[in-house]
Amino acid sequence: MPILANIVSSEKISVSKYFNVVESMNDIIHGLPTLIIGFDYVNKHFSDFDITKPKINDDLYWTFKRTEKRDKSLQDLNWFVYKVFNDLVNNVKYVFVDPIQYNKVSMVKIVKKILSLNKIFSYIHKDMIYLYGDGIIFGIDIKLLKYIGLRIDKIKNKIKEISYCFLDNEMILIEYKKTVEIIGNQVRYIPFLYSIDNG
DSSP conformation letters of 104-172: HHHHHHHHHHHHH-SS-EEEEETTEEEEEETTEEEEEEHHHHHHTT--HHHHHHHHHHH-SEEE--HHH
Among 51, 68, 89, identify where a domain stops.
89
pLDDT digit string (tens) for 22-63? Answer: 999 999 999 999 999 999 999 999 988 888 899 999 999 999
The confidence score (pLDDT) of residue 199 equals 62
Residues 112, 178, single domain; the answer is yes
Q: pLDDT value at position 137?
A: 98
Q: How remote is the C-alpha of 13 from its chain's centroid?
A: 21
Instruction: Indicate if 81 and 101 belong to the same structural domain.
Output: no
Least confident of 134-138, 139-143, 166-170, 186-190: 166-170
Count of domains forming the chain: 2
Quick one: 54 and 138 in the same domain? no
| Domain match, 9 and 37 both | yes
Residues 70 and 118 in one domain: no
Do 160 and 102 fall into the same domain? Answer: yes
**What integer is the mean pLDDT of 102-110?**
93
Share of the chain above pLDDT 90, in %: 87
List pLDDT tens digits, range 118-159: 999 999 999 999 999 999 999 999 999 999 999 999 999 999
Residue 188 has pLDDT above 90, yes or no: yes
Tell which of 89, 113, 141 closes a domain.
Answer: 89
Mean pLDDT, all residues of the chain = 94
Q: What is the model's pLDDT at position 198?
A: 87
Residues 9, 68: one domain?
A: yes
Size of the chain, expressed as the number of residues it contains: 199
Q: Please say if the pLDDT value at position 1 is more than 80.
A: no
Residue 49: which domain range? 5-89
Same-domain pairing of 110 and 55: no
Task: Give yes or no: residues 59 and 32 share one domain.
Answer: yes
Q: Do 103 and 177 belong together in one domain?
A: yes
Q: Are residues 150 and 191 in the same domain?
A: yes
Does 82 share its domain with 104? no
Domain boundary (42, 58, 89) is at 89
